[in-house]
């Protein structure tokens, strides 16, 4: 049974300092270990090089194997043990689906991690279609429609290739659990702590500073990893279209609240050498601690807002014309998050216009404790689950179920 004690995870992510913790690299439990195969270098070598160059905080680890060629991939697949657990975390591409099928044929037993949503959102409504159509020109809408059509076909075919039996499902919040248990009635579903809950617990142990800081959560939207992987690039997208009005907004807040320091929590994929604006300090890999020490959090749609909810910090959500035009799904999510949490929403616009109402929102930002608690129960934390090490809990459940599955 020794060969069973391995979990192989297929991914398309680079191994950054943030992902090292989030992906549980190096975690073990009673002889169990996790091995990652990253096919990002094959999928898109340029993107891989962009996210592993100096300043990216890229990490090398023996348990995280980066696949640079099909020959390299073939050799790794030949090393597969007789029995093992696996999960495809690399998306719906053909390569990932084919590897998924190879894992299954080779004796692997599939487990699934159902990603949690920041908020439930029906993006395909008449109202949202109208807004999206009004914000985009006809050529772009036609191009996007064709791209979406072929993407759906590709995902459908990929899903058929990877349609192997799932043995265990792991979920990270109650909303997802309630949906999944209706869909998979014959599969064991296991509750585990969310990544954001773990980050909260870790930051909570650190010493308090009791500052009156304002923290802006950067999401590196102008250079989005997921957007670049999607291949449908909008050539009209400009760096300044986002950071221009955003900096004007932050400067406005800085001028009118000189007693408050504004810190920017850099996105975990932002390169340390990539500082998009001056006048503000970017802090890398310290988002949870910055939120803990803050008096107010400014953010777009981001899982970091869940850490703010757990620390009971006032949140003001931000959106702009840039999001409406190029990242409409994120724009809609931001609006729904503000409603769900009873939080203020500021629309920065195409060009930021100085408006006293913005200062009033900043000054009077408060917490809706009832909505925060409801959101926590639905989207962040299981009340009936003891908070413990997420990946050790996952491996513990594999140990518990291996005799029944193999």
Question: For residue 112, what pLDDT is reported?
Answer: 94
What phi and psi values does residue 396 have, to the nearest 5 degrees?
Answer: -60, -40
Question: For residue 211, what pLDDT is reported?
Answer: 67
Which of the four pLDDT bands, split at 50, 70 and 90, describes residue 130? low
- Interval 369-382 mean pLDDT: 94
Question: For residue 1, what pLDDT is reported?
Answer: 40
Question: For residue 142, what pLDDT is reported?
Answer: 67
| 205 token code pair | 């142990």
Instruction: Convert 67-79 to b/e letters by CB count within 10 Å (16 or more is b).
Output: beeeebbeebeee
pLDDT, tens digit (0-9, with 9 covering 90-100), for 16-71 = 988 998 999 999 999 999 999 999 999 999 999 999 999 999 999 999 999 999 99
Residues in the chain: 406
- Interval 121-128 mean pLDDT: 66
Question: For residue 324, what pLDDT is reported?
Answer: 86
The larger pLDDT score, comparing residue 14 to residue 158, is at 14
Q: Is 237 left (phi over 0), alpha (psi -120 to 50) or beta?
A: beta
Which of the four pLDDT bands, split at 50, 70 and 90, describes residue 86? very high
pLDDT, tens digit (0-9, with 9 covering 90-100), for 167-199 = 999 999 999 999 998 888 888 999 999 889 999
Instruction: Convert 269-292 to b/e letters by CB count within 10 Å (16 or more is b).
Output: bbbeeeebeeebebebebbbbbbb
Cβ-contact 297, 308 below 8 angstroms: yes
pTM higher than the cut 0.75:
yes
pLDDT, tens digit (0-9, with 9 covering 90-100), for 198-235 = 999 989 887 776 666 899 999 999 988 887 887 556 76
Cβ-contact 398, 168 below 8 angstroms: yes
| 340 token code pair | 């769900």
Which of the four pLDDT bands, split at 50, 70 and 90, describes residue 285? very high
Question: For residue 207, what pLDDT is reported?
Answer: 74
Q: What percent of the chain has pLDDT over 70?
A: 89
SS in 3 state form for 55-71?
A: CCCECCECCEEECCCHH
Question: For residue 3, what pLDDT is reported?
Answer: 57
Q: Within 10 A of 398 (CB to CB), how many other CB atoms are there?
A: 23
- Report angle CA 138, 141, 145 to the nearest 5 degrees: 140
Cβ-contact 289, 302 below 8 angstroms: no
Count CA within 13 A, CB hemisphere, residue 11: 23
Q: Is the pLDDT of residue 351 over 70?
A: yes
pLDDT, tens digit (0-9, with 9 covering 90-100), for 317-344 = 999 999 988 888 889 999 999 999 999 9
Mean pLDDT rounded to a whole number for the chain: 88
């Amino acid at each position: 049974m020794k060969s069973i004690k391995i979990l192989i995870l297929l991914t398309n992510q680079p191994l950054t300092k943030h992902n090292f913790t989030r992906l549980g690299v190096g975690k073990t439990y009673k002889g169990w270990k996790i091995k990652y195969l990253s096919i990002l270098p094959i999928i898109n070598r340029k993107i891989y090089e962009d996210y592993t160059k100096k300043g990216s905080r890229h990490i090398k680890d023996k348990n995280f194997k980066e696949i640079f060629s099909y020959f390299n991939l073939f050799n790794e697949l030949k090393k597969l043990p007789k029995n093992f657990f696996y999960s495809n975390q690399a998306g719906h591409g053909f390569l990932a689906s084919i590897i998924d099928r190879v894992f299954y044929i080779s004796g692997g037993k599939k487990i699934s991690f159902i990603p949690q949503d920041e908020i439930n959102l029906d993006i395909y409504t008449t109202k949202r279609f109208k807004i999206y159509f009004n914000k985009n020109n006809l050529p772009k809408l036609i191009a996007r429609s064709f791209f979406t059509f072929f993407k759906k076909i590709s995902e459908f075919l990929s899903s058929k290739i990877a349609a192997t039996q799932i043995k265990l499902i792991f979920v990270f919040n109650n909303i997802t659990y309630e949906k999944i248990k209706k869909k998979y009635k014959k599969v064991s579903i296991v509750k585990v702590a969310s990544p954001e809950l773990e980050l909260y617990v870790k930051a909570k142990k650190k010493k308090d500073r009791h500052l009156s800081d304002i923290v802006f959560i950067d999401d590196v939207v102008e250079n989005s990893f997921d957007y670049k992987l999607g291949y449908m690039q909008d050539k009209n997208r400009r760096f300044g279209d986002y950071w221009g009005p955003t900096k004007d907004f932050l400067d406005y807040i800085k001028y009118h609240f000189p007693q408050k320091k504004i810190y920017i929590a850099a996105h975990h994929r932002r390169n340390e050498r990539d500082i998009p604006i001056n006048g503000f300090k970017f802090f890398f890999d310290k988002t949870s601690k910055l939120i803990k020490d803050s008096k107010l959090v400014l953010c777009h749609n981001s899982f970091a807002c869940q850490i703010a909810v757990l620390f009971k910090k006032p949140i003001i959500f931000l959106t702009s014309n840039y999001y409406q035009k190029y990242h409409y799904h994120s724009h809609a999510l931001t609006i729904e998050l503000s409603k769900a949490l009873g939080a203020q929403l500021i629309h920065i616009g195409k060009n930021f216009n100085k408006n006293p109402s913005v200062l009033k929102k900043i000054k009077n930002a408060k917490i809706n404790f009832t909505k925060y608690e409801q959101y926590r129960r639905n989207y962040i934390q299981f009340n009936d689950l003891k908070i413990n090490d997420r990946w050790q809990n996952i491996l513990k459940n594999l140990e518990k179920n291996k005799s029944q599955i193999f």
